[in-house]
Amino acid sequence: MAFERRRDGFTITTDAKAFDLDAIFEFLNRDAYWSQGIPRPILEKAIERSLCFGLLEDKRQIGFARMVTDGATFGWLCDVYVIETHRGRGLGDWLIASVLEHPDLRGLRRIVLATRDAHALYRRNGFDALPMPERWMAIARPDVYANGAGA
């Protein structure tokens, strides 16, 4: 059963049948600094294997969030966006709060994310800097899509 929230003509849903994959792909491939150039098959695989939240105005896709999680201990919040024409209306806060209210995510021990410019949004929703960043490591491959890897 899909998780759903409604407010003032907007809907947040986990029902993948309601998602407009063309709109999500267009935004993430073209407009998002973190995923420009992502091949559509890679995005479709990521969506299929994650817990995703569509933000809709009527049936129009205006936002999205994706949680990569084991559903028990850990989650990585990513691919969060609200289209530019709908920013500044509290929809991003509502989207993040709704993600965190999902029953499968309430008991997670740790949820992480990375952002270049939306720190205030995430702080309002309980996120903070990593408590011990010296313990965290990563493999970063910023050109992986350009090199055709993973396709």
Element (H, E) at 47: helix 40-48
Is the domain defined by 4-135 classed in CATH 3.40.630.30?
yes
Q: Vertex 37, ends 42 and 119: CA angle to 5°?
A: 95
The DSSP bridge partners found for residue 13 are: 4, 54
Q: Which pair of structure tokens corresponds to residue 24?
A: 């999500």
Q: How many CB atoms lie within 10 A of CB 133?
A: 8
Pair type for strands 74-82 and 110-112: parallel
Task: Read off the pLDDT band of 149 (50, 70, 90).
Answer: low
| pLDDT band at residue 147 under the 50/70/90 scheme | confident
* Block residue for tokens 């073209």: 30
> pLDDT per residue over 76-93, tens digit each?
999 999 999 999 999 999
Q: State the pLDDT confidence band at 58, using cuts at 50, 70 and 90.
A: very high
Cα(134)–Cα(150) distance, rounded to whole angstroms? 29
Please tell me the distance from the alpha carbon of residue 20 to that of residue 85, in angstroms, as a whole number: 17
What is this structure's pTM? 0.94
